[in-house]
Amino acid sequence: MDNQEIRKAGLKVTLPRVKILELLEASVPRHVSAEDVYKMLLEKGEEIGLATVYRVLTQFETAGLVTRHNFEGGHAVFELDRGEHHDHIVCVLCGKVEEFMDATIEERQKEIAAEHGFEMEDHSLIIYGRCNNTSCPGRE
Amino acid sequence: MDNQEIRKAGLKVTLPRVKILELLEASVPRHVSAEDVYKMLLEKGEEIGLATVYRVLTQFETAGLVTRHNFEGGHAVFELDRGEHHDHIVCVLCGKVEEFMDATIEERQKEIAAEHGFEMEDHSLIIYGRCNNTSCPGRE
DNA sequence: ACTCGTAATGCAAAAGATTCTCATCTCTCT
DNA sequence: AGAGAGATGAGAATCTTTTGCATTACGAGT
């Protein structure tokens, strides 16, 4: 049950929080901005404020329920955290996001952090490229 | 000469551009925000507008003179591009930035992009961690 | 060096994203 | 059901970045 996740995070189980979590679970695409979440909920007839969406997403991030990414474009996107870490490939033409996970890279990162006297806490790897999707604009 | 770099980029050699480029060349730390550049120039007695700093940095980025990074914190930072690509380790406590470059990771990234049908254009790898600097706040 | 056309600048206003304030409302616990 | 802590919504505020426009500064040609 969703509610348990929220409760375990030390947060009250309120309607906005449940709705946002439900939406993230059902969300396609998986990477959405706060604005996206807000609009999607409004369209579903929910009554919610944008400030709440930001607050809740930040709380979820702190609680480890969602991950925040700073892709290009001046606004953050969030995705539900399903336990397994992964990195991203973003198409610079159509914005499509794919996920991947590579043990070799993960391992090297830890080593590199250690070599520099850092204790790795997190990392962000984003590959930008042009995808070969036929529906991708900017192709000819 | 600085001027040549600017001219080669197809831009007029104007005072603001020269000043910004000079500052980036002398800048410690190497990773500065537009606001940083603006304030540093003001402190040096230069007369410049913030809008110009943003415009020029964006032009320099397009021309390949500087690289823009979206670290955490809601604002972009820029660094002079010295030809050699590298990635970053950022201390989440004191904000210190170190650079590194790892051939193994670079290679894997290209392979991964290809595996997903992407033609890699660029990438951004940032490791977040806690550094062991004695002057780093948040240590005890 | 001088002039002119174009591109660049500075300022202020605008736009976009995110956070804050605060009065009101809603969980949770009893 | 009632009390208290915590959460919400609306709008104001803040911060970063972009844009419009009148003025100014390059630099190609003389």
Residue A105: the pLDDT is: 96
Strand D bases contacted by the protein (CB, 7 Å): 6-12, 15-20, 25-27
Q: Chain B within 8 Å of A75 (Cβ-Cβ)?
A: no
Residue A124: the pLDDT is: 93
Report which residue is nearest nucleotide D19 when distances run from CA to C1'.
B51
State residue B24 phi and psi, 5-degree precision.
-65, -35
Average pLDDT for B49-56: 98
Q: Which of B89, B120, B124 sits opposite A116 (nearest CB)?
A: B89
Count of Cβ atoms closer than 10 Å to residue A40 Cβ: 18
Give residue B92's pLDDT band: very low, low, confident or very high (50, 70, 90): confident
Give CA B65 to chain center in angstroms: 10
Residues A122 and A54 in one domain: no
CB pair distance less than 8 Å for B117 and A124? no
CB pair distance less than 8 Å for A89 and B116? yes
Residues B33 and B67 in one domain: yes
Tell me the CATH number at B98: 3.30.1490.190
Tokens representing residue B81 in the block: 């591009």
Count of Cβ atoms closer than 10 Å to residue A28 Cβ: 5
Are A73 and A113 in contact, with CB atoms under 8 Å apart? no
Give residue A140's pLDDT band: very low, low, confident or very high (50, 70, 90): low
d(CA B5, CA B106): 28
Residue B139: the pLDDT is: 54
- For strand D, list residues 44-73 of chain B whose Cβ lies within 7 Å of it: 50-51, 54-55, 58
Residue B68: the pLDDT is: 95
Q: What is the CB-side half-sphere exposure of residue A134 using CA atoms within 13 A?
A: 0
Give residue A69's pLDDT band: very low, low, confident or very high (50, 70, 90): very high
- The percent of residues in chain B predicted with pLDDT above 90, rounded, is 79
Q: What is the largest CA-CA distance in chain B?
A: 52
**pLDDT, tens digit, for every residue of B112-139?**
999 999 999 989 999 999 998 888 876 5
List the domain range (segments joined by +) for residue A122: 87-129
Tell me the CATH number at B59: 1.10.10.10
Average pLDDT for B60-67: 95
Q: pTM of the prediction?
A: 0.90
Chain A nearest-CA residue for B111: A102
- The percent of residues in chain A predicted with pLDDT above 90, rounded, is 77
d(CA A34, CA A79): 11
Residues A95 and A65 in one domain: no
Average pLDDT for B25-40: 93
- In this predicted structure, the answer to whether residue B50 has a pLDDT above a threshold of 90 is yes
Residue A138 is assigned to a structural domain of this protein:
no
- The percent of residues in chain A predicted with pLDDT above 70, rounded, is 96
Residue B60 is assigned to a structural domain of this protein:
yes
Average pLDDT, chain A: 92
